[in-house]
Chains A and B, each alone.
Chain A
Amino acid sequence: MPVPEKPPQREASPDVVIERLERRLQRERDARRQAEEISERGMRDLWLANQDLDARVEERTKDLAETLEQLRVASSARDRFLATLSHEMRTPLNGILGMLEILGPHLVGDQGNRYLDVAVESAERLLHLVSRLLDLVALDSGSFTTNRSVVTVASVADDIRDRWQTEALRSGHLLTVWTHGLADCAIDEPRVLQIANELIDNALTHASPGALRVEIDVDELRFELSVIDSGPGISPELIPELLTADFSMVDDSSARAAQGLGLGLGICRRIAEAIGGTLELTSDGSTGSVARLEMPAPDGEHTQPERTTDMSQRTVS
């Protein structure tokens, strides 16, 4: 591509040169003014657009805050309603249970006692359900409280045996409770027992008859309670759902038939976390499952960290 040659510079008088330079200067000034006008107009447009955007953001933020407040009010109204309802239900339920107990000696014949047993069991189940609902409300609203006190591990084990001895046998399970490690520890005993009871109840309902082992293992740092059943287990992909849902059950028709609301594991996990621990569920899906509650549990100030030399083992059967 040819590049044109520069033409020779022309000779010009100073006046012509000055005039030319003045025109050039004027042209540059005009161009500069034009550029300033254009950029000022652009900046003003930008500012106006920004104002508009600010106003819209403010409006949307206000809308969202209002919606959030409405949701909060609705949610707290629901919690209050649920809490009140559960409380109100507990009073007549306790009345029913009390009266059923008094009624017992007045009944004559096996038939009547069987009816009474069914009535007591149903009322107890309802009371249990109502209590779990109250827990759920407390967990949701953040009013769940926990209290630690020093307990002896053996008494926790005894409580579990006393509570489940008869029922385990009735459903064909061989329940054993084992303890290892320290004799005392500081835990929220009612909550720990609540979780243990729920885990055992679950196992008795869902596991096929066989060995059911509860192990309590305590050292200076932690309290661990495991409920180990012997099958049929839970398929591993269902476990996360079981531990996160408030109402769920293993998707199994016989289990569904045996138990109504699956209020158990999800609430147990949340209670475990509320008292500073964790709840884990492991299973290979065929040979059984292990539910493990683990929490930090410094041993009490006034206890001698007396280690049990042998494993204390007692079999309920």
Chain B
Amino acid sequence: MNDVFWLTLSAALAVGIPALATAWAQSKIGSSVAATLAEKPELSTTAILMIAIPETMVVLGFVVALVIMLQGGGG
């Protein structure tokens, strides 16, 4: 296996695993938020924030993946 393979795999994992984690978190938050909004529609702002919060994980994963690709010579 050459370096390009490992670099690419690392970058993919760096963004892929947080993406799965974000998706899992959002699925849990999303269903709770839907139930909450049915009873209290005035909480929609909080709901939007709650759904957007886990996305930080995938953003940071993306940055790490980018650094791996660029620093490792893949970019």
Q: Do A and B come from one complex?
A: no
Interface residues of A (CB under 8 A from B): none
Interface residues of B (CB under 8 A from A): none
